[in-house]
Structure 1
Amino acid sequence: MNKIIFSLCLVLSGVSVGVAQEATNATQRLRNQGVQFQEQVVKVADKVHVAVGFSPANVSMIEGDDGLIIIDTGMSIDDGTRIMEEFRKLSDKPVKAIIFTHAHGDHTGGAAAFLGDERPQIWAHENFGSEAGPWKAGGLTFQNVRGARQAGFKLPPEQRINNGVAPARYPKRGGAVFSSGRETVPTHFLKGDRKSINVGGVEIELVAAPGETNDELFVWYPAGKVVFAGDNFYRSFPNLYAIRGTPNRSTRLWAESLGKMADTDAVALVGGHTNPIHGAVQVKQVLIDYRDAVQFIHDKTVEGINKGLTPDELVEYVRLPEELAGKEYLQPFYGHPDWGVRTTFNYYLGWFDGNPSNLFPLPPQAEAERVAKLAGGTEKLLESAREALAADDNQWAAQLADHLLSIDADDTNAKQIKADALTKLASNMVNATARNYYLTVARELRE
């Protein structure tokens, strides 16, 4: 009886049973990913621990003879304080050094919580903050709006599951996504490819590793055979392009950085997010698979580019081999292969797709008016959009609604159709950032 009632409710609400099941499957997969960042302090080697799930980013501690090294610091001082309380259960030694794997605020915002009476060395790559530099120099601000959409900051808690590689959190400072406060700034910098340092009786190596950012580095701790990858690794397909908008990320250099990590004899791999990987064989396999996936996206995209394919054609042409696509740590919870294809094209060739029709295309309104004429008028176009929505052809419904909104930005019917289409797309979307973006824009359209 309950199944009958449930099915009837779906029919009455205009949602098919099949679509609801798909939505449940996608939602459940994303919910299941939450086991990767449940709160815990994980021992990965002797005197090496990682705090997972207390903040969006992992925070690691290496205990030396007379002090501690902290690798990344979480998103906020509150997060950092909770983590330091956990670390103090393991050691009361002073923090001698803080190392930022890169400048994203979810890795740097908690730094002040780890400061003691003695100011520690604070290490970072010499390009620290280079991602945000062009935005600031150019006077951009809209990336904050897009960042909030990607992260789901404007969604109510019941609509947020997680962020694919991290728990859902709401930042306390203004909408500056991935920007850090000024409580702490780096005092020491990695210049060149790599540098060995000894701090607190701990010998570690800092290695330049461009990937998710150009200021990325990884930390190699040879005594414990632990590699701290920063955001060049986490248990998801990598975010080769962030839909919030970002300067170009080189898929080629990212693959090379992963190769450097794979060349170590690590027995533990600590990513910037999600649970660590344990065991020499598993670590090697994971890093090789991760590198091969990124390298494949690069090489196959270049192959398609050399065939004259456009970005839209390339995302159909480039498909990860099943032996990689099926890996649990390469599922598209955070990044997506299609976005890696597009960013690789853009990295090498820029915005022009090679089709001369797109050199000086019609403005959106002019194109939409012609499409409406072909459809038999705006009412017919609206009818087609409604039919597409009813048939669960949701991408097409959204695109038809875009034409209607190009003709009349205040068309309430078109807004509703697009909002409904985006909501249905989100229900079938396992990628957390795309899901958040769909749902946020749907809410904006309904406001």
Structure 2
Amino acid sequence: MRNHLQLLASFGLAGALLSAGIVQAASATAPKPATEATRAANAAVLKSLPFSDKADFEDAQRGFIAKPETLTIKGANGNVVWDMESYKQYIAADQPAPDTVNPSLWRNAQLNMQYGLFKVTDRIYQVRGYDLSNISFIEGDSGWIVFDPLVSTEPAKAAYELVSEHLGKKPIVAVVYSHSHIDHYGGIRGIVDEADVKAGKVKVIAPKEFTEHAVSENVIAGNAMSRRAIYMYGALLPRSPQGGVNAGLGQTNSVGTATLIEPSDFISKTGEEVTVDGVKMVFQMTPGTEAPAEMNTWFPQFKAMWMAENSTNTMHNILTLRGAQVRDALKWAHFLNETIEQYGDNVEVKFQSHHWPLWGHDRVIDYWKKHRDMYKYMHDQSVRLMNQGYTGEEISEMIELPPELDRFWPNRGYYGTLRHNSRAIYQRYMGWYDGNPSSLDNLPPEPAAKKYVEYMGGEGAVLDRAKADFGKGEYRWVAEALKHVVFANPDNAAAKELLADTYEQLGYQAESGPWRSVYLQGAYELRNGVPTAGGIKSASPDTIRAMTPEMLFDYLAVRLNGPKAAGKKLTLNMDFTDLGKRYALYVENGVLNYSSKPADKADASLTLTKVAMDDVQMGNATLEQQIADGKLKIEGNKEAFSEFMGLLDTYEFWFNVVTP
């Protein structure tokens, strides 16, 4: 019984992994320099884009008020949760890009290094460079309205202290969550006491369905998403010109205490107006764009438009590389057009949750149009080519933005890229199947790799050809060929090393921060093996508390091992006394279903509080303790419950990615 009870303690969910905060081992294989082919590729970028245009640097520094000379933020136990100093050692505004960094990505990193307190316009301020996202302070008659309080409490608190030091100490009267991603709400407890929210002293405003999406994102597929996020955000990479440089939206993510206070007020429709502390806000709902629950905010008094994350200074993801549901590029373009039509006549400044603002009516409108048309172009042309019979891979190789969109700095692919976004659009309409019969029931990677290598004449022959092509700078093909050798024989050290070298050069050439991280993380694991430990950041206690029983049961259902459950029939009742809700769980036909109607004849019945279950999930108590303390009672056949727990898989986080 004890082992199965311990399994229930693993109900704790792998939430949105932002950064593992892991440091490479001192014995890790050192990265290698850029090859001649990489130096030539990066030099070509310098010639192809308008690097003489310094307007972004002027905008990123405009309105500067103050900053600390050093910016290292620590947690309560002394751990570093945010450190700009690690980047300042090698990224400076007056330094050219190293050979190992795409010059365009280097430019983006230089811009994101502009940190501190800035004035956007009358009564609107931002603290930038304290996390992946910005925190914005709108001055009311008596206090501050805060937009998007960062990932973690520690940077949010430090930002509020910076504002108070230079603009005067004022209370926070409201917080607005622009959308349901953790970098826009996770730091709220660093600046707001939940008791004040419950007492009505502080409003927490969010788009409708915010809580549902904030809690559910990354729960069902959380383990796989979190493992892949190690690649996307470069958590293992050293801070150096050969390692982590920039995450596209900002430098990286903080790794402090992520929290959530549930909203007190929800916005449900475009045009809805709310006045808080003398500040009038008009909301534009944009569901299904960058997030399933998201909204922009118009400030008519200040002629300022808050764009949430719907328009930043980069092409965004239609499909994020860590994994998520495909976003709707057409809807994204539609809402940007709506922004222009409804708020464009009077706008003088636009600001958002990442990067720096933009000033001037004509500049803002031009920006919105080009950002809108970027998403519209990638959608329309991907679908046009799809309807001509091209597959996602073929479309990604063919599609190019027209020069007027491609050379516009805010459209560059620092986060999303045209290559993987066009594939995502194909996926949204057509799914994984490319229409070729050979793709319908093809071999999985490992057995296919063995046949590929056999057909190519064996591992030695492939390696000889790969070395020659590596020397020619044909890294995309070398990666494709050597992938098969590694999957056919993961003990082939020479193949793994050459594939690592190849991924490294592809990373050095990548304009996208996540692409760079993915390639360099792949190289790291090929050389050093899969990590086995690290400070994985799972769902926060606030997120767990906000989960409904239904969300919990859906998560248990995907942990149920179907083959093991085949032929079994189990019925369990669960009575959450603090919620006044009772449920029945049914295991039958290899699946787990649940009902809000308790079963008349259950194999076992559990009586407990949701709080008791939360404490088990968060590791604050074991089930044995809850039973001993009378917080959990099991009636009926306890072995049935034990059997049920034995059917649940516990996921291994560090599964292989670049090796079988």
Is TM > 0.5 for Structure 1 vs Structure 2?
yes
What's the CA shift for 1:22? 3.5
Cα offsets for 1:160-184 (capped at 9, x unmatched): 11112202345246xxxxxx524x2
- Aligned partners of 1:73 and 1:111 also within 8 Å: yes
Aligned residue number for residue 176 of structure 1 = none
Q: Give distance in 2, aligned partners of 1:219 and 1:91.
A: 25
Contact 2:232 2:514 survives alignment (8 Å): yes
The secondary structure found in structure 1 opposite 2:307 is strand
When the two structures are aligned, how many residues end up with a matched partner? 427
Give 1:45's aligned residue.
121
Q: 8 Å contact 1:36–1:165 — kept in the other structure?
A: no
Tell me, yes or no, if the aligned pair for 1:426 and 1:438 is still in contact at 8 Å. yes
Q: Deviations over 1:122-164 (max 9, x none)?
A: 111222252762642x354111111121111111222111112
SS of corresponding position for 1:189? strand
**Does residue 423 in structure 1 map to residue 507 in structure 2?**
no
- Cα distance per residue 1:349-382 (max 9 Å; x no partner): 2111122221111232343233223322222122
CA positional deviation for 1:281 = 0.8
Find the aligned partners of 2:255 and 2:465 in 1 and give their Cα distance. Answer: 41
Between Structure 1 and Structure 2, the one with more helix by share is 1
The answer for unaligned runs of 5 or more in structure 2 is: 1-31, 43-97, 529-660
Within 2, Cα distance between the matches of 1:321 and 1:346? 23
One of 441, 448, 459 as aligned partner of 1:378: 459
Aligned to 2:14: none
* Contact 2:151–2:253 under 8 Å retained in 1: no
Secondary structure at the aligned position of 1:219 is classed as strand
Q: Which amino acid aligns with 2:429?
A: Y
Q: Which residue of 1 aligns with 2:188?
A: 111
Where does residue 448 of structure 2 map in the other structure?
367
- Alignment of 1:353 onto 2:428: no
More displaced stretch, 144-153 vs 83-92: 83-92
Q: Which residue of 1 aligns with 2:140?
A: 64
Q: Indicate conservation of the 8 Å contact 2:232/2:322, yes or no.
A: yes
Partner letter of residue 256 of structure 1? H
> Do the aligned partners of residues 315 and 131 (structure 1) sit closer, same or farther apart at CA in structure 2, a change above 3 Å counting?
farther
- Select which of 190, 208, 217 maps to 2:267: 190
1:296 is the counterpart of 2:387: no
Measure how far apart 1:310 and its partner are: 0.6
Deviation at 1:293, TM superposition (A): 0.5
Using the TM superposition, give the Cα deviation of residue 31 of structure 1 relative to its aligned residue in structure 2, in angstroms: 2.3
Please name the residue that 2:108 is paired with. Answer: 33
Residue 179 (structure 2) pairs with residue 98 (structure 1): no
Percent identity between the aligned chains? 25
Say if 1:109 and 1:181, in contact at 8 Å, map to a contact too: yes
TM normalised by structure 1 equals 0.90
Structure 1 residue 16: deviation in Å?
A: 4.1
Aligned equivalents of 1:103, 1:35: Cα separation in 2: 28
TM-score by length of 2: 0.62
Q: Distance in 2 between matches of 1:247 and 1:87?
A: 37
Q: Is the 8 A contact 1:51 1:58 kept in 2?
A: yes
Residue by residue over 1:374-405, the C-alpha shift from the partner in whole angstroms, topping out at 9 and shown as x without a partner, is: 32222212222222223221111111111112
1:70-89 equivalences under 5 Å are: 70-88=146-164, 89=166
Q: Report if the CA contact (8 A) 1:67-1:201 is conserved.
A: no
Question: What's the CA shift for 1:98?
Answer: 0.6
Q: CA deviation at 1:15?
A: 5.7
Structure 1 contact 63–91 (Cα < 8 Å) conserved: no
Residue 17 (structure 1) aligned with residue 36 (structure 2): yes
Q: Residue 228 of structure 1 is aligned with which of 297, 306, 318?
A: 306
Match of 1:204 among 281, 299, 322: 281
Q: How far off is 1:324 after superposition?
A: 0.3
Q: Which amino acid aligns with 1:101?
A: S
Match of 1:149 in 2: 231
Counterpart of 2:250 (choices 148, 166, 172) is 166
**Residue 438 (structure 2) pairs with residue 438 (structure 1):** no
1-structure distance, mates of 2:403, 2:103: 22
Separation in 1 of the partners of 2:231 and 2:497?
19
- Is the partner of 1:124 in helix, strand or coil? strand
Cα distance in 2 between the residues matched to 1:71 and 1:14: 42
CA distance in 2, matches of 1:339, 1:55: 26
Paired with 1:297 and 1:132, the residues of 2 have a C-alpha distance of: 31
Gaps of 5+ in 1: 1-12, 174-179
For residues 388 and 395 of structure 1, the distance between their equivalents in structure 2, rounded to whole angstroms, comes to 10
Larger mean Cα displacement after TM superposition, 286-295 or 39-48: 39-48
Contact 2:249–2:354 under 8 Å retained in 1:
yes
Aligned partners of 1:239 and 1:285: how far apart in 2?
21
Check conservation: 1:251, 1:295, Cα contact below 8 A. yes
2:544 matched to which residue of 1?
Answer: none
363-372 or 193-202, larger mean C-alpha shift: 363-372
CA contact (8 A) 1:233 1:272 kept: no
Q: Which whole-Å deviations, capped at 9, do the CAs of 1:4-26 have from their partners, x for residues lacking one?
A: xxxxxxxxx89643433545464
**In the alignment, residue 27 of structure 1 is paired with which amino acid?**
N
Match of 1:244 among 289, 312, 322: 322
What's the C-alpha RMSD, in Å, of the aligned pairs?
2.0
Deviation at 1:335, TM superposition (A): 1.2
1:157 is paired with a residue whose SS is: coil
For the structure 1 residues 192 and 169, does the alpha-carbon distance in structure 2 shift closer, same or farther, using more than 3 Å as the test?
A: closer
What residue in structure 2 maps to residue 133 of structure 1?
216
**Residue 334 of structure 2 corresponds to residue 334 of structure 1:** no
Q: Give 1:72's aligned amino acid.
A: D
| Residues 131 and 246 in structure 1, CA contact (< 8 A), matched pair in contact too | no
1:439 alignment partner, SS class:
helix
State how far apart, in whole Å, the 2-side matches of 1:190 and 1:54 are. 28
